[in-house]
Amino acid sequence: MRLKLFRYNPEDREQRYDIFEIESRPGMSVLAALFDVQKKHDDSLAFRYSCRGAVCGTCAMLINKVPRLACRTQVAKLLDGSLEMDLAPYPALEVDIDWNPEEEVLVEPLPHLPLIRDLVVDMEPFFAFYRAVRPVFKPEGEAPARERLMDRDAVSALEAYTNCILCGACFGACPVDAKNPDYYGPAALAKLYRFHIDPREAGDGSRLELANTPEGWWACEFHTNCMRVCPKRVPPNIAIGKARRELSEQGREPER
């Protein structure tokens, strides 16, 4: 099989695509294929990885034009077409590349983030929005002697959002992030909503105000790419819709 990889050299800012012939193995992931390239063909290839088990979110990349985790994406399934996905368009999908998806796996850096080298992008803009929503508890009342209990329904509601591993796949797939660098992005907004609905939080409603701006809740266009590409099935679009409805019902929409 062939691996077609995006390359970027920050010293001369050259961008190109290199093709490598590698031997496919049963169960081979894209991350394993990248290791083969690095070990056997070109040790200068730069990419991020950590846990190799779809837990840390470090290896999110644009694979066959879809943001995915390289460690859990199987080469064989890419080549047989079983992982094809229809997404609302954004610029990275529209780049004209000579690429045969039946014979080649195309790997590019996560869109909408500055390039550092090859498949490595600068995640700072993504995490800046994450920090902006203050993703820490501000519990109500004095700390209990042992723990703050929740009923099962509350736990189930939270689980839809606590599963986020901050890989940035949703950010890379979002057409709004592509055109609006000030948009908070799906991951940050889903994390903010997660704290808003946590029954252990102070119930003053101030959480929603952190993104009650034209660049926050109200910038989303509900393309739903975020939910489709999320490796943990987190639904940021649902959180955003519920937050907007709550703010509207309370007459708290910002001026735009």
Using H for helix, E for strand and C for coil, what is the string for the chain?
Answer: CEEEEEEEECCCCEEEEEEEECCCCCCCEHHHHHHHHHHHCCCCCCCCCCCCCCCCCCCEEEECCEEEECCCCEHHHHHCCCCCCCCCCCHHHHCCCCCCCCCEEEEECCCCCCEEECCEECCHHHHHHHHHCCCCCCECCCCCCCCCCCCHHHHHHHHHHHCCCCCCHHHHHCHHHHHCCCCCCHHHHHHHHHHHCCCCECCCCHHHHCCCCCCCHHHCCCCCHHHHHCCCCCCHHHHHHHHHHHHHHCCCCCCC
Q: How confident is the model at residue 40 (pLDDT cuts 50, 70, 90)?
A: very high
Digit-coded pLDDT (tens) for 70-103: 999 999 999 999 999 999 999 998 888 999 999 9
Read off the tokens for 208.
């929603």
The full length of the chain comes to 256
Mean pLDDT of the region 110-118: 98
Digit-coded pLDDT (tens) for 11-36: 999 999 999 999 989 999 999 999 99
**What is residue 129's predicted lDDT score, i.e. its pLDDT?**
97
Residue 46 above 90 pLDDT?
Answer: yes
Domains (range + CATH), the chain: 2-120 (3.10.20.30), 123-249 (1.10.1060.10)
Distance CA 141, CA 72 (A): 42
Q: What angle do CA 7, 41, 33 make, to 5 degrees?
A: 75
**What is residue 256's predicted lDDT score, i.e. its pLDDT?**
64
CA distances from 83 to 65, 142, 167, 202, 233 (A): 11, 49, 19, 42, 15
**What is residue 63's predicted lDDT score, i.e. its pLDDT?**
98
Read off the tokens for 199.
């029954």
Percent of the chain with pLDDT over 70: 99
Percent of the chain with pLDDT over 90: 79
Read off the tokens for 121.
């992008």
**What is residue 244's predicted lDDT score, i.e. its pLDDT?**
97
Q: Which phi and psi angles does 85 have, rounded to 5°?
A: -145, 130
Contact 109, 121 (CB under 8 A): yes
